[in-house]
Amino acid sequence: MVKREDFLREPVVHMKLNSSMTVNELVQQFGNAGCFGAGRLSTACDIFERMTRDEECTIFLAIAGAVVPAGLRTVIADLTRKKLVDVIVSTGANMFHDLIEALGGHHYKGHWHVDDSILYGYHIYRIYNAFVPEEDFVKTDMAMTDMFDEIAKKSKGQALSSREFTREIGSRLKDSKSILRAAYEANVPIFLPAIRDSEFGVVYRFHRKRRFQEELLRVDAFKEVLEIVDIVEKSPRLGMVVIGGGVPRNTIQHAAVTAHKGLDYAVVITMDRPETGGLSGSTLEETVSWGKVKKKSDRIMVIGDALIIFPTMAAAVLERLGDKFVRRGYVKWLEQE
């Protein structure tokens, strides 16, 4: 039986601010208060730090929602280079937006209160309050169609997994700020489980229209299942950081359960709610019922805007780790290739 005093062990320590405090110092003040979103964010930082310090943990990063066009591109690329992320599972769209910038395009600060029919007239696409000119998509489509042709020629009809495909793309990019390029250089696999549900699908159509059947690029959606499960099987411990959720989140969770292993660490940043039964809002406790996350795991959901939460968490943890910290990452699986 839980005693009354068990509920009253830790008083709230009110936040104290000063003019020279660092990100991590602010997060520690959040932890001192420990309530609401501040407490959750502080816990998320602690869990992410533990993941990074655990040399036998493979850290998966799930990316859903338009965080790359909105400004997280370089943060993710830098974390990838530093090996604070071992495996990326993303929507196709986020990687396509990475490509738009890698190939010379831009995203622009806009506004949500705008006449969208005027944007339509000007061929400008809106992602909440970020704008993308159509020509940046068009030019990327054209460059990527050529790249599809090249990769197809190289692979000689052999089907690639999305991981092999993204690696081929990364090897052809020069932009050091690109996530795809950083992942290629750091040997971090990128899986795109819903690749066709993005501009990659449009590019495929262009590629297909101008190529003969035997010259077509083939990406096998099932091939990557074996690859990601293999990574899970070879990893003593598993951690995931989720931005958004959806298909990328469940790809990681499903790999964990397929390998009969639950995740040991989980941080989910979302604004979705659990009542719909969707994967972006489902609680981590619900995930335990499937065996996707272990009952005894370090886990937290942070309800908030990933554009604020994720960089704050990353900055606090980078500060804790210090400049001299080097993480090798556990994915030995790729080194055998």
- Supply the residues annotated as catalytic: 292
Report the alpha-carbon distance of residue 271 to residue 301 in Å, rounded: 10
CB 215 to other proteins: min, Å: 13
Q: Which of 21, 142, 226, 308 binds other proteins (CB under 8 A)?
A: 142
Give the range of 77-85, 136-144, 279-287, 324-332 binding other proteins by CB under 8 A. 136-144
- Measured distance CA(212)–CA(71) in Å, rounded: 39
Q: Quote the DSSP letter at residue 108.
A: E
The alpha helices in the chain, defined as continuous H runs, are: 23-33, 36-53, 67, 73-81, 92-102, 116-121, 134-155, 162-171, 179-186, 199-209, 223-234, 246-258, 284-290, 306-321
Taking the least distance from each CB to other proteins, the nearer of 138 and 308 is: 138
> Binding marks (x or -) toward other proteins, 72..111, rule CB under 8 A?
----------------------------------------
Cα separation, 198 vs 137, in Å, equals 12
Q: Are 77 and 182 within 8 A, CB to CB?
A: yes
User: Going by C-beta distance under 8 Å and a sequence separation of 6 or more, which residues neighbour residue 77?
Assistant: 176, 177, 178, 179, 181, 182
Q: Which of 138, 176, 226, 233 binds other proteins (CB under 8 A)?
A: 138
Nearer to other proteins, 108 or 325 (CB): 108
Considering only residues 210-239, where is the footprint of other proteins by CB under 8 A? 210
Please pick, from the candidates 81, 126, 139, 234, the single residue that binds other proteins as defined by CB under 8 A: 139
Q: Which is nearer to other proteins, 114 or 138 (CB)?
A: 138
Residues between 175 and 214 that touch other proteins (CB under 8 A): 206, 209-210
User: 138 is written with which tokens?
Assistant: 């068009």
Tokens of 65: 């929602």
Report the residue number, 209 or 296, with the smaller CB distance to other proteins: 209
Please state the closest distance from residue 95 (CB atom) to other proteins, in A: 21
Copy the structure tokens of residue 130. Answer: 């970020």
**Range 112-131, binding other proteins (CB under 8 A):** 120-123
Of the pair 51, 132, the CB lying nearest other proteins is at: 132
List the one residue out of 239, 234, 308, 291 whose CA is nearest residue 70: 308
Is residue 36 within the footprint of other proteins (CB under 8 A)? no
Taking the complex as a whole, the smallest distance from the CB of residue 132 to other proteins amounts, in Å, to: 11
Residues that bind other proteins (CB under 8 A): 120-123, 133-135, 137-139, 142, 206, 209-210
